[in-house]
Amino acid sequence: MKIAVAKGDGIGPEIMDAVLTIFEANQVPIEYEVVDMGKWVFDKGFSNGMTPEAQHAIEELGILFKGPMETPKGKGVKSVNVTARKTWNTYANKRVFQSLHGVDTVFSKAGIPIDITIVRENIEDTYGGIEHMPTHDVALSRRFITRPGSLQVIKYAFEMAKKNGSRRITCGHKANIMKLTDGLFLECFQEVAKEYPELRSDDIIVDDLAMKLVVRPQDFDVVVLTNLQGDIISDLCAGLVGGLGFAPSANIGDHIAIFEAVHGTAPDIAGKNIANPTALLLSGITMLRHLGFMKNAAVIENALLYTLEQGIHTGDFGSKSIPGKNTTEFSQAIISNFGKTPEHGAKPVIPNMDVTPTVFKLDHNQMMVSEETKKEFIVGVDMFIECSEQPEYIAKKCQRHGGVKFNLVNISNRGTQVWPTGSVYTNLVNLYNVRFESLDGSPLHQQDVLGLYVSLSGDFKICSSELLNMSGGKRAYSLAQGQ
């Protein structure tokens, strides 16, 4: 078994060396190919932060274990961390948060154990970074939630929950407001849940989830969420167990998986040998289990938990009455505790699985294959126009452009209807959504829409437009607030 290792920037090399020393001392049967990624690779002129050789090695080997990496500021380059997750379609971000004895939190002091796994969709949502400023005053972000994208992360979460014997799997969402996007994610969750009747599955609105996680974290087990909500909820969970220094992360795809700590390069303490390697070690332990090295993972994790229970710590956490260890001393303490069993949360030591290296091959793009296409037709169009006039003025002009095909249905501003009815108290910005539908509800052709576009452009700047589709007898677009 050979994996790619990128040590990263700042404290990256120090904590990676500490973790690899622990692995070596435990005779983990893995070989490492160190690859070039990170700030200095950007500086050498590689705009995606990795050399072509690094990309090739990672694609061949399928596993990347990485330290934190810095994104150069002000050069217009994208984060190599995000590029890696997206390029290799690591669609599920898994983070395990468990109470660690020796890491004091309000919950550990109250004797409330926490063991929560967050599975966050890792590619879609507003993280596509597709943003525009249609007018000087308005910035828009496109939010992508797709059926194949949601299904693959939700299926991963259910499979993982089943394998780990989890007691509950919960979908966090905001489908009460974002009925189509979060609604689709929830629909996919409910669809997949039917295939796992042995698992208790339920859903919760994300704000309620945030409150309940703080009040009764012990009630939750596996939680699956869309990208942005998952990002926020996972940091909330990190706070419950003592902060980002104890947060491991696995980015899982069908062909490539990336294991890394959640924290950054900590430039303020880089090069001093005082960084805490726990989060990267926990990520490495997750990787060992992913690869089937169950025994190595359990022995190392038990040694880590035992070490923490002894009050041994680095400078960033733990009791002030016990002097903090440096990175090397802390990892040596873990090595000296191999074979010890912690009082709390001990992991059963089971044999390593038979590991057969997988041959990675991508023959077709599975994302394009979705369910049977439903009967779909166009019934209207939303025209987003720049205008600083009142709705009544816009309506008068637009009604003329409707012609014999279109009916002006309503005008909204920031999602709230302002015409034909509305309130004088609704504040307006200079981007209106003017909604046209076909006169008698009959299907329209794209040419009809283009005709309307040409006519309307005589009076207004059209910033963008969206077709209004009916799909399988259902409206595939949202109504404006108040419509």
Residues that bind ligand NAI (CB under 6 A): 11, 15, 68-71, 81, 245, 260, 263-269, 275-276, 316
In whole angstroms, the minimum distance from the beta carbon of 331 to ligand NAI comes to: 12
Distance CA 456, CA 178 (A): 29
Distance CA 82, CA 48 (A): 10
Can you give the three-state secondary structure of 163-202, one letter per residue? HCCCCCEEEEECCCCCCCHHHHHHHHHHHHHCCCCCCCEE
In whole angstroms, the minimum distance from the beta carbon of 81 to ligand NAI comes to: 4
Return the number of the residue (327 or 413) whose C-beta is nearest ligand NAI: 327
Return the number of the residue (226 or 276) whose C-beta is nearest ligand NAI: 276
Backbone angles phi, psi at 331, to 5 degrees: -70, -35
In whole angstroms, the minimum distance from the beta carbon of 337 to ligand NAI comes to: 20
DSSP of 331-356, one letter per residue? Answer: HHHHHHTTT---SSSPPP--PPP---
Distance CA 291, CA 17 (A): 20
Contact indicator for 10, 70 with CB cutoff of 8 Å: yes
In whole angstroms, the minimum distance from the beta carbon of 52 to ligand NAI comes to: 21
Backbone angles phi, psi at 457, to 5 degrees: -65, -15
Instruction: Return the closest-CA partner of residue 34 out of 68, 73, 59, 65.
Output: 65
Question: Residue 142: what residue type?
Answer: R
In whole angstroms, the minimum distance from the beta carbon of 24 to ligand NAI comes to: 20
Return the number of the residue (94 or 405) whose C-beta is nearest ligand NAI: 94
Return the number of the residue (69 or 225) whose C-beta is nearest ligand NAI: 69
In whole angstroms, the minimum distance from the beta carbon of 314 to ligand NAI comes to: 6
In whole angstroms, the minimum distance from the beta carbon of 76 to ligand NAI comes to: 15
Distance (Å) of CA 111 to CA 105, 257, 344, 350, 418: 10, 35, 11, 28, 53
Return the number of the residue (11 or 288) whose C-beta is nearest ligand NAI: 11
Cα 323 to chain centroid distance, Å, stands at: 37
Return the number of the residue (39 or 174) whose C-beta is nearest ligand NAI: 39
Return the number of the residue (267 or 415) whose C-beta is nearest ligand NAI: 267
